[in-house]
């Protein structure tokens, strides 16, 4: 993001493309901006698959996840919401995918999600900006 970008959720920007640098666009398009989260996986704070971590400013999402006890499982680098709509999902849809994952968590499901994640990333699918 450009240094003059307002400090708000990127989804709340009126003209997000105005603030994204050329390099940032490449990082986001191919999800390279997620690489630092691998450190969190190595440290054991995250897993490869699980609900994506919420930003502190996403209080509505946090409240819905709290209600459904989604935080009882580790957040993940990728998850069902990322392969089923990513930025195009409503909060309720994201939480429904989180609930489904929580209730059906398995090695097979994790492998399926990881394979589909690779395909979604290669296609740069469902990224708003």
Collapsing DSSP to helix, strand or coil, 48 comes out as: strand
pLDDT value of position 11: 63
Contacts 24+ apart (CB under 8 A), 51-60: 51/75, 51/76, 51/79, 51/81, 51/94, 51/97, 51/98, 51/101, 51/102, 52/76, 52/78, 52/79, 52/81, 52/82, 55/9, 57/8, 57/9, 58/9, 60/91
One digit per residue, the tens of pLDDT, for the chain of length 129 reads: 667 777 776 666 677 777 778 887 778 777 777 788 889 999 999 999 999 988 887 899 999 999 999 999 999 999 999 999 877 888 999 999 999 999 999 999 999 999 999 988 887 655 554
Query: How is the chain split into domains, by residue range?
Result: 10-123
Collapsing DSSP to helix, strand or coil, 89 comes out as: coil
pLDDT value of position 57: 79
Tokens 């492998």 label which residue?
111
């Amino acid at each position: 993001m450009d240094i003059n970008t307002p400090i708000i959720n990127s989804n709340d920007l009126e003209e997000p493309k105005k603030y994204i640098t050329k390099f940032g666009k490449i990082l986001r398009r191919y999800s390279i901006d997620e690489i630092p989260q691998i450190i969190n996986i190595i440290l054991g704070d995250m897993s490869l698959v699980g609900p994506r971590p919420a930003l502190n400013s996403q209080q509505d999402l946090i409240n819905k996840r709290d209600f459904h006890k989604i935080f009882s499982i580790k957040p993940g680098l990728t998850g069902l919401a990322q392969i089923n709509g990513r930025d195009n999902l409503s909060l309720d849809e994201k939480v429904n995918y989180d609930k489904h994952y929580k209730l059906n968590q398995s090695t097979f499901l994790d492998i399926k999600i990881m394979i589909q994640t690779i395909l979604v990333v290669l296609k740069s699918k469902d990224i708003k900006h």
